[in-house]
Amino acid sequence: MHRTLSEEDAAFQQRMRDFFTTEVPQDIRDRWRAGGEVEAQDVRVTQRILNAAGLAVPSWPREFGGQDWTNLQLHIYLQEMQSASVPPPLAFNVNMVGPVIAAFASRELKERFLSPTANLDIWWAQGFSEPEAGSDLASLRTSAVLEGDEWVVNGQKTWTTLGQHADWIFALVRTDPDAPKKQMGISFLLIDMATPGVTVRPIQLIDRGHEVNEIFFDNVRVPVDQLVGEVNKGWDYAKFLLGNERVSVAPVGSIKRKLADAKGFARSVATDDGTLLDDVHIATRFAELEAQVMALELTALRVAAGSKDGKPDPASSILKLRGSQLQQDVLELVVDLAGPSGLLWDAGDTRDGTDGSGREAWTGKAAPTYLNFRKASIYGGSNEVQRQIISSGILGLRG
């Protein structure tokens, strides 16, 4: 048991830090750091820079561009990326569909899709949730019926994040409505969004942004060879995917970046006798959050070291649960720091040139960002679902 990094890991850390802070354009990182709606082009440009350097898909199998890194190195990679405000490789590509194709798809599908998926030549969307299938995902009803050498898809997906940019969608569809268990009749289908019968409708959220969508499938014809793995085994692949998603949604580095930025925000707000960072109540909230984030990061490191055979430790549910809570706590602190300056949104920087008075840009983003991230405890398996996984899967409490 020791704290220090080995010479090799320290050198790795420096290499990552140098790469992310020099190879990814500053203007892209500045926009990502400020937050708000995602610029698709920034994500594309960044992922291609990373991919060219072998840094887009480190967790994939080596033959498809992965790296033989230790879990600690993977943690350092993510930490340095997030610390430098580098837009991360698109999760739908690198954490979700890529690993599923690599693990379960035919050789033909691997050769067709993995390279463009790593390079974000294909932007993937996730077609899982439906209006009647949220936490109870296995109740999904979107159907796929085999006609000749095509699956004919009908139904609706929802909460499709960034679906407005997507070229393709990986969807869970019901291929056997008569299966004895609802989990047993589901398949994993790859669908070109340009196929006739696919319609995308935006959902506006309370932060005024357009991030999620509804996707409608009306007699969409999908070539039979675009089904991943075996028919009716889609639920197994989805569970594999969600396990990966959980590990990837403990954004410790992003939380730390935001908390560090928040100190600057607190310094910029004047009070009757100093700045908000001098306020005991605010300073104590920072101290408490730093302690709690430290505990989360340490747990992420400890759990990563405990994962076996590439399978996530069941304790990874802790990371999703606590990571989303702390992410929300930090954004709650930021909206409190903005206070009355945050009442009107997205004003930009209103400081004028003469006396510098005015509102800084972050104050206008504070409230919508705070509201937007209420999503974090809902997506990727809500926190109530995570507690269920912990209580039944780890503690053996089965009602």
Q: Does 308 bind another protein (CB under 8 A)?
A: no
Q: What is the smallest separation between the CB atom of 111 and another protein, expressed in angstroms?
A: 38
Q: Does 399 bind another protein (CB under 8 A)?
A: yes
Nearer to another protein among residue 16 and residue 122 (C-beta): 16
Nearer to another protein among residue 106 and residue 392 (C-beta): 392
Scan residues 8-67 and list those touching another protein (CB under 8 A).
9, 13
Residue 211: phi, psi to the nearest 5?
A: -120, -35
DSSP 320-359: HHHHHHHHHHHHHHHHHHHGGGGSS--------TTT--S-
Q: Does 165 bind another protein (CB under 8 A)?
A: no
54-62 long-range CB contacts below 8 Å, 24 or more apart? 55/19, 56/89, 56/94, 56/118, 56/119, 56/120, 57/89, 57/94, 57/98, 57/118, 59/94, 59/95, 59/99, 59/244, 60/94, 60/98, 60/99, 60/102, 60/114, 60/118, 61/102
Q: What is the smallest separation between the CB atom of 283 and another protein, expressed in angstroms?
A: 4
- Span of 2-10, 111-119, 243-251, 347-355 interacting with another protein by CB under 8 A: 2-10
Q: What is the smallest separation between the CB atom of 164 and another protein, expressed in angstroms?
A: 34
Handedness of CA 215, 221, 226, 229 (dihedral sign): positive
Binding mask 333-372 for another protein (x = CB under 8 A): ----------------------------------------
Q: Among residues 150, 176, 290, 329, which is the contact residue for another protein, using CB under 8 A?
A: 290
Q: What is the smallest separation between the CB atom of 398 and another protein, expressed in angstroms?
A: 7
Strand partners, 168: 124, 192
Asked whether the beta carbons of 221 and 144 are under 8 A apart, the reply is no
Q: Among residues 299, 327, 341, 377, which is the contact residue for another protein, using CB under 8 A?
A: 299
Asked whether the beta carbons of 171 and 157 are under 8 A apart, the reply is yes
Nearer to another protein among residue 154 and residue 268 (C-beta): 268
Report the distance separating Cα 104 and Cα 111, nearest Å: 13
Interface residues with another protein (CB under 8 A) are 1-5, 9, 13, 72, 76, 79, 83, 256-257, 259-260, 263, 267, 277, 280, 283-284, 286-288, 290-299, 301-302, 305, 315, 318, 321-322, 384, 386-388, 390-392, 394-399
